[in-house]
Structure 1
Amino acid sequence: MKVLYVTTISATMGFFPEHVKMLLSEGHSVEIATNCEKPVPEIYNTLGCKVHDIPFSRSPFSKNNLIAYKMLKQLVESEHYDIVHTHTPNASMIVRLACRRVRKQGTRVIYTAHGFHFFRGAPLKNWFIYYPIEKFCAHFTDVLITINKEDFTLAQNKMPAKKICYVPGVGIDLSKIQNIQCDRNVVRLSMGVPEDCILLLSVGELSVRKNHQVVMRALAKLDNPKIHYAVAGSGKLENDLRYLAKSLRIESNFHLLGFRTDVIALNKSADISVLPSLHEGLPVALMEAMAVGLPIVCSKIRGNVDLIEHGKGGFLYGCQDVDGFARGIMDVVLKSSSEMRKINQNTIKNFDVKKICGMMKQIYKDCCNGAT
Structure 2
Amino acid sequence: MDRFANRFSDVVVANSLAVASDTAARDNYSINRIKIVANALDFSRFDNIGERRNGTRARLGLDPGDVGIIIVANLIPYKGHDDLIEAIALASKVRPNIKLFMAGQDRGIGSALARKAERLGIGRKVQALGVQSDIPGLLAGMDVGVIASHEEGFCNALMEKLAAGLPVVVTTVGGNPEAVSGLPGCVLVQPRAPTDLARGLLEIVDRLPERKTEQEFRQRTMRQRYSIEAMADAYETLYLTGNG
Gap change, CA 1:344 and 1:181, over 3 Å in 2: closer
Distance in 2 of aligned mates of 1:162 and 1:343: 32
Aligned to 1:31: none
Of the three residues 75, 84, 96, the one matched with 1:215 is 84
Distance in 2 of aligned mates of 1:323 and 1:331: 12
Tell me if structure 2 keeps the 8 A contact 1:200–1:227: yes
State the shift of 1:198 in Å.
0.3
Taking structure 2 as the reference length, the TM-score comes to 0.86
Aligned to 1:105: none
Letter in 1 for 2:81: H
Tell me if structure 2 keeps the 8 A contact 1:142–1:161: no
SS at match of 2:77: coil
Letter in 2 for 1:345: Q
**Residue 289 (1) aligns with residue 157 (2):** no
SS at match of 2:88: helix
Tell me if structure 2 keeps the 8 A contact 1:309–1:315: no
Letter in 1 for 2:83: V
Tell me if structure 2 keeps the 8 A contact 1:315–1:328: yes
The total of aligned residue pairs comes to 236
Tell me if structure 2 keeps the 8 A contact 1:148–1:166: yes
Tell me if structure 2 keeps the 8 A contact 1:139–1:160: no
Letter in 1 for 2:231: I
State the shift of 1:323 in Å.
1.8
Of the three residues 341, 347, 350, the one matched with 2:225 is 350
Distance in 2 of aligned mates of 1:182 and 1:240: 36
Aligned to 1:153: 21
Larger relative contact order (C-alpha < 8 A, sep ≥ 6)? 2
- Percent identity over paired residues: 25
Distance in 2 of aligned mates of 1:162 and 1:293: 34
Aligned to 2:69: 200
Distance in 1 of aligned mates of 2:51 and 2:115: 32
Gap change, CA 1:145 and 1:193, over 3 Å in 2: same
Gaps of 5+ in 1: 1-92, 94-133
Tell me if structure 2 keeps the 8 A contact 1:313–1:343: no
- Pairwise CA RMSD of aligned residues? 2.5
Distance in 1 of aligned mates of 2:35 and 2:102: 34
Gap change, CA 1:156 and 1:361, over 3 Å in 2: same
SS at match of 2:221: helix
Aligned to 1:363: 238
Matches within 5 A, 1:115-126: none
Aligned to 2:197: 325
Once the two structures are overlaid, the 10-residue window that deviates more, 344-353 or 267-276, is 344-353
Aligned to 2:124: 252
SS at match of 1:176: helix
Letter in 2 for 1:351: Y
Gap change, CA 1:145 and 1:270, over 3 Å in 2: same
Letter in 2 for 1:283: C
- Per-residue Cα deviation, 1:21-61 (whole angstroms, up to 9, x for no partner): xxxxxxxxxxxxxxxxxxxxxxxxxxxxxxxxxxxxxxxxx
**Residue 233 (1) aligns with residue 101 (2):** no
SS at match of 2:128: strand
Tell me if structure 1 keeps the 8 A contact 2:20–2:31: no
Distance in 2 of aligned mates of 1:307 and 1:294: 13
Once the two structures are overlaid, the 10-residue window that deviates more, 154-163 or 357-366, is 154-163
State the shift of 1:225 in Å.
2.8
Gaps of 5+ in 2: none
Distance in 2 of aligned mates of 1:156 and 1:255: 40
Letter in 1 for 2:190: G
Tell me if structure 1 keeps the 8 A contact 2:146–2:170: yes
State the shift of 1:244 in Å.
0.9
**Residue 166 (1) aligns with residue 41 (2):** no
SS at match of 2:58: helix
Of the three residues 178, 185, 195, the one matched with 1:306 is 178
